[in-house]
Amino acid sequence: MRIGLLALMSLAVPATAGDFLLSSPIDCDLDGPCYIQQYVDHDPSETASDFTCSGLSYDGHKGTDFALPTYDMIEQGVDVLASAKGTVTGLRDGMPDIRYTSETAAASEGRECGNGVVLRHEDGWKTQYCHLRQGSITVKRGQQVNTGDVLGQVGMSGRAAFPHVHLSVRRNGEVVDPYDPDGTIICGQSDEETLWSDVPPYRAGGIVSIGTAAAVPEFDAIRANTVPPAEAEGDAMVIYAFLFGTQPGDVIRLSLDGPEGSVITRDASLDRKRAQSFRAIGKKRRGPRWPAGEYSGTATLLRDGATIDSQSLTLTLP
């Protein structure tokens, strides 16, 4: 095990859990359906590494991204919460919730945080909450807030490729990773000293959701949760998995069984690091319809031969 392998970029101010404590900034279960997509980047080179020396970050990332699984949850409304008691010193609202792409980049230039809130806390601490839903911010400049107070709702404004709240933590202007406030990296394990009052779970990649379809779906439809399930008279029976944080060498195992036995099973190797991706397998219909009854599907994500996540589903065809 290597200690101090990666030098911190700007996380220069040591801190301990006793100085300042944070709670989760999102009112959603982080063991599902919500999850943490990316962490603070600790690698000063052009590559990226999170606080465990794994790859759940990107170059220069200065916060923690608490993600919604699908676009439709923006409209359902998921609250963003103050992670600590403080005073509102900055905010912005009015930017639309549009997925960031090269075509939409100009609209958020200089306003990458999108709709957001900044809180000032005691002893030089600040927290910033980015990418909130347009029109959802509930606080005003100068307002005092307590831990857990609603600041707004999760959105996809600014430089956001998926719906999430980006939480950045600073002390005296320097970025601090709440998972590793003292800046001492111990590869392969979490720091015992964090800034969290209740440490959010670390998932080294996983499965966001799985589903069935009558054809291989478009990725945007999966993200939007608008893929119709497989049908009795559909041309094909497809099972898909929406993945996050995959690494080269990962394997996604997809299987679907029906009332007459196995429909399809296949392993797919993943050859690149991906923040988000999906895989699908399917089988064409040969008869007039798919057999009536219950279908069960499973997706399992494997890394170095070990299961890091698994999800199952059932589908009943009349």
3-state secondary structure of 105: helix
The pTM for the full model equals: 0.90
pLDDT tens track for 194-248: 999 999 999 989 999 999 999 999 999 999 999 999 999 999 999 999 999 999 9
For 62-98, give the DSSP string.
-SEEEE-SSTHHHHH--EEE-SSSEEEEEEE------
β-strand 236-246 against 206-213: which pairing, if any?
Answer: antiparallel
Alpha carbon distance 231, 221 (integer Å): 17
* Residues in a beta bridge with 316: 294
Successive 10-residue mean pLDDT values, the chain, 318 residues = 34 56 97 94 90 92 97 97 98 95 87 97 97 98 98 97 97 96 76 89 94 97 97 97 96 98 96 94 96 98 96 98
pLDDT tens track for 37-65: 999 999 989 889 999 998 899 999 999 99
Least Cα distance to 292 among 318, 256, 264, 263 occurs for: 318
3-state secondary structure of 39: coil
Alpha carbon distance 295, 263 (integer Å): 9
According to the model, what pLDDT value does residue 15 have? Answer: 53
Alpha carbon distance 64, 69 (integer Å): 16
Which domains does the chain carry?
Answer: 35-175 (2.70.70.10), 206-317 (2.60.40.10)
- List Cβ neighbours of 190 (8 Å cut-off, separation of 6 or more): 51, 52, 179, 199, 202
Alpha carbon distance 107, 46 (integer Å): 26
